[in-house]
Amino acid sequence: MDVLSDVVAVTRTGRCRSAYVRWHAPWRQEFASVPGSAGFQVVLQGSCWLLPPETEPVQLGAGDVVFLPHGRGHTLADSPETPVTVPACSPADHQLSSVYASDSVDWSGDDGAVTVVLCGAYQLDLSRTHPLLLTLPDLIHLPAQAGRHPELSSAVELLAAEVENPRLGTDAAVPALLDALLLYILRIWFNGRSSLGNTTGWAAALNDPPTAAALHAIHRDPASPWTVAKLAAEAGLSRAPFARRFALLIGQPPFGYLTWWRMTTAARLLRTSDAPLRSIAAQVGYTSEFAFANAFKRTHGTAPGTYRRRS
């Protein structure tokens, strides 16, 4: 797998939660902060305003995508002037933790303008959050602009079609499209950061051919007996320049990241499989089960067997 796909696979847990909501103006909906999740809002029809708690209101139109990678609270409304006293829907109808893809809420209040939004959240495992995700801002807004992000626009159109007109297979199609939406959002964000000339951080690392080559090698085969020299060869650089370049962009030396990724992969295998410890140790590059157990305990603070039982 490539780095971005791996990051999402490791951090995501459970099923995406989503709701198809139709509002009639005037309306105002507050979304509470939800640690351990990444929220999203996709405007499918009409327009509305995003009211972040600490920044200026942002007007949203059909096709706009808002992503909140750290689960921060926010408010949507038909207008910034709509008072808090105007309800949007009853809390029981709109708890995202209890609704699934293709569920819908129609709040028919007054006969004002209609806004349709697909809102929801991806559940994240905070114990395995990849440093790439930690670098994201609290709010990412991707406006709908004709021809600028065709893959994102296509995902939004397909989602709208499935949730507006559920058919055979919709319950399988919507979660898959939500996963694609998440990857497109992250891809667009990191590509955009790189185009702005960022010289450090994950945005720069993913778009720096030598560093990206080493990262892909690690993620492609974490069990390989990597050394800094071998990773430098993958990057097409000599050892010392590669090590400096990698540490500058990633924030830790190559072998430090390799070990962290191996232990993160091991934790996932312990949680999701019944493979014996000997097999998991081999899959993350350890020929000795004892050496693997010591490395795992240094990283996670507990022995592999105990971690599996607790999980």
Question: Burial level of 304, CB count in 10 A (0-12/13-18/19+)?
Answer: buried
CATH 3.30.70.20 fits 208-310, yes or no: no
Query: Distance between CA 224 and CA 233 in Å, rounded?
Result: 14
- Residue 40 in contact with residue 66, Cβ under 8 Å? yes
Query: Distance between CA 257 and CA 246 in Å, rounded?
Result: 10
Phi and psi for 72 in degrees, rounded to 5?
-70, 145
- The confidence score (pLDDT) of residue 90 equals 35
Residue (of 40, 56, 1, 48) closest to 215 by Cα position: 1
Beta-sheet strand order (sheet of 58-61): 28-31, 74-77, 47-51, 58-61
Residue (of 65, 180, 186) closest to 134 by Cα position: 186
Query: Distance between CA 252 and CA 152 in Å, rounded?
Result: 32
Q: Are strands 104-107 and 17-24 parallel, antiparallel or unpaired?
A: parallel
- The confidence score (pLDDT) of residue 97 equals 37
Question: Burial level of 144, CB count in 10 A (0-12/13-18/19+)?
Answer: middle
Domain chopping of the chain, boundaries: 3-195, 208-310
- The confidence score (pLDDT) of residue 95 equals 44
Residue (of 115, 64, 167) closest to 106 by Cα position: 115
Could you tell me the pTM of the whole model?
A: 0.82
Per-residue pLDDT of the chain (311 residues; tens, 9 = 90+): 588 888 888 788 777 878 888 888 888 888 888 888 899 999 999 999 999 888 899 999 999 999 999 989 999 999 999 887 554 443 333 444 333 334 555 655 567 889 999 888 888 877 778 888 888 999 999 998 877 889 999 998 898 888 878 889 988 898 889 889 999 999 998 888 765 656 678 888 988 999 999 999 999 999 999 999 999 999 999 999 999 999 999 999 999 999 999 999 999 899 889 999 999 999 999 999 999 999 999 999 999 999 999 87
Superfamily of domain 3-195: Regulatory protein AraC (2.60.120.280)
Ramachandran quadrant class, 96 (left: phi over 0; alpha: psi -120 to 50; beta: rest): alpha
Residues 6+ apart with CB under 8 A from 300: 263, 267, 307
Query: Distance between CA 85 and CA 151 in Å, rounded?
Result: 39
